[in-house]
Structures are given as C-alpha cells and as structure tokens.
Amino acid sequence: MDRRALGIAGVAVAGAAGITALLRWRLWSHGVPSTPTPPVGDYFDAAELVRNREYRRGVWAMAAAAVPIAPAVAIAVACTSGRWAGPLARAAGGRPWRAGLLFGAALSLAGTLAALPLRGARYGWGREFGLITQDLPAWLVDVGKGAVIGAVISAAVASGAAVLIARAPRWWWAGLACGIAGFVYLSSLLTPVVIEPLFQRTKPLDDPVLARQIIELARKEGVPADRVLVNDASSRTVTANAYVSGLGASRRIVLYDTLLRDFPREQVLVVVAHELAHVKHRHVLKGTTWGALLAIPGCLLCFALVGARTGWGPSGAPGGAGTRVVLRRLAIVAATASVAGTAAAPLGNWVSRAYEREADWTALRSAQDPASQISLFQGFVRTSLGVPDTPRPVQLWFGTHPEPIERIGMAERYARDPDPAG
C-alpha cells in the first residue's frame, strides 16, 4: 500500500477506535453490579450435561468452520475480477447501476451456496439431537427465502455503491457510509413487519390473565406493551425464547409458543420483564446506532484499499471500460467489508452481552423474583441442550448473551442485596 492508502487506513482504524470509545461512554449499560459466578455444580448435574456438551461441541465446530466462508468467497471474487468484470460489464450494457445489481445478487448467492453444506450439517445435527422439529422441505423453503432476501438486499446495496463509485471517485465512501447507516435503521424498522412474517406466524397473546400481568409489569416500567405476540416456534424447534424487535411503531415483543407451553407462568413473566427492559433501555436503537456509526470508518477503510489497488482517479468514461473499473473497485469493497464485518463480530457480541446484562438486572428489579430467574436459566439449558459455562474463546466470538451460570450469579446477587450500589 502507498503512503496515502496507509494514512487513510490509519485514520479509519483510529476513527473506529474513537467511535467505539464514544459509544462505550454514551450508549453502554448502567447500574449493573459485578456478580461473582457460582460453581456450576451448585445448579447443574455434570452427568446430565454430558449430552448437552456433545451437542454444543458439534455446533461450535460448525460455527467456527463457517466463519471464514463469506470472507473467502468475497476475496476470491475480488482476486479474479480480471476474468469476470468485462463480461459482467457487457451483460449490464455498461451501466454501473445494473452491473452493481448483478454483482451484488451473484455474490450473495455464491456465499449462500458456499455455506449451504455447513448449514445442512447443522440442521442434521439439530434433528439428530431432537432440538430441531422442522422437516427438510420446510427448512429448504426457509433457506430459499433467506437466499432471495439476501440477494435482493445485496443487489440493492451494490447497485447504489456502484453508482457512487462511478460518479464520486473521491467521496463515494462517505455517500456509501450514509447509505449503509440509513439502511441499518430502516432494516431495524421494517424487519418485524416485512421479513419476520416470511419465516413465522404470530398472533396476539390470548391468555387474558397473563396479558393483564404483562400490562401491569409494563405499566410499572413505563413501557407500552400493546404488541405482545406469540409465534409458532414449535413448528421449528423445541427451544424456548423471546425477543424484542423493531423501532417506534414497528416495535413488538414476541414470545415463543414453546415458552408458554413448557415454562410456568412466573418464569414467563421473568422473560417478559427482560424483554420489556430491552424496550425501556432502547437497546434496539442503541445497537442499531453502533452499527450505523461504525459504517463510517468501515467505508473509509474500503476507500483506502480500493485506492491502493486501483488508483484514486475516476473509473473512466461511461461504458464498458469504465464499468469494468467500477466492478473491480466494488469487488474490493465487498471483500474488505466482509473481512472487517467478520473481524468485528466479537465487538458486536460484546455490546450485545452488555445490553443483555442490563436487561437481566432490570428484570430482576421489576419482577422481584430471583428464584424464578434461576429456575428459568436452568430450564433454558435443559430445553436448548445448552451448557452453563461456555468455553471462553467460544463465548468471546459467538456469545450474544452472558453464560447461564453468570446470569444465575446475578440472580443470586439480587437475592442477597437488590441495591446495585451495595
């Protein structure tokens, strides 16, 4: 890389560090006390965890094997751009927007196909252990839906990026960063009403007693709870869970039907209190802001690598030759973004774990039932074939939630002293 590229890359890295520090200061969790982790043997029988650990070792191995697939595909595509950029530019009639559209869709589908064997292996592994209940045809339909959605999104992003690269050779990275930031917020807003219904069926909670209890919990926390829904998770899995998604008018809390079926009411209320805490503390909005702001240094890093590999000037006159340069640059952007996004996974999970801890502590203070919270996490380990003490490297890279034994320790801490300053 030349000095200019190195300088820009250095600014991008420093900018990412600065944004991370700023967001760590302003958008972090607050008031969560430190909690010692109790011995696993206090809550779980080692013999009963043998099968769980066997299942999880397989899952972890397949997850680790899948990590480099998307970056490897994107890098291979970028390294071979001399072979395919010309034909693709001709197929697009020399139009950058059309070339980007074709490139984005093709790259997304190539990544999906490359990852499909491991996804199939994981599906088979879950079926073998009885965790996945969805039959193969239904699973393949969901895979197909995901592939189409991914290709459409990738095509739209790549098309916009191609136009920016062609028309603003020095500032396309800034326009792309703004576009990605807007897309991140838009996806958080629209996912509950556009994407999720394609993969699950939901209905309003029809238990009037539980509904009243949820409304009371929500009233206590100052959170609107008029969109508490139940989905048909039992058609796909035996695991129990819940989540909150959406922003503003699209926000909703969704409970798995397996949670209502397999867990007692007091534990369901603990889960609801946890999800209401996510809403109260605006975790979806905060997490979205992390992704949106970090897109700025990410796009600047892409600009540095594009300049180092293809120069800093315009792509050339409109038409075949210029569009070939645009496609080469677009492929470098895609490869850089894929590698950077993969490398940033631990950062995203670190943020997620912090928000989950804050939601756990808020739920304890709201529901005031640490015994049910302890029993809930014991039940989650049992029904999901989980382990209470995930290996450290696995937790750092893949862990979106604190370990169950840590969450049990927090409940113990609340039972001893509910004052976080104590």
Could you state, in order of their start, the residue ranges of all structural domains in the chain?
Answer: 3-31+50-199+284-344, 202-282+350-416
Give helix 265-280 / helix 283-310 axis angle, nearest 10°: 60
On the question of pLDDT at 402 being above 50, the answer is yes
DSSP characters over 344-395 = THHHHHHHHHHHHHHHHHHHHHHH--HHHHHHHHHHHHHHTT--SS--HHHH
**Do residues 105 and 81 lie in contact, with contact meaning Cβ atoms separated by under 8 Å?**
no
Q: What is the pLDDT of residue 245?
A: 85
Distance CA 228, CA 214 (A): 9
The phi, psi pair for 194, rounded to 5°, reads -115, -50
Tens-digit pLDDT profile for residues 224-270: 776 789 999 999 999 999 888 887 777 888 999 999 999 999 999 99
- Contact residues for 292 (Cβ-Cβ < 8 A; gap 6+): 180, 181, 182, 184, 185
CATH architecture, domain 202-282+350-416: 2-Layer Sandwich (3.30)
pLDDT computed for residue 422 by the predictor: 45
Residue 201 has pLDDT above 50, yes or no: yes
Q: Name the DSSP letter for residue 238.
A: S
At 248 the pLDDT is: 78
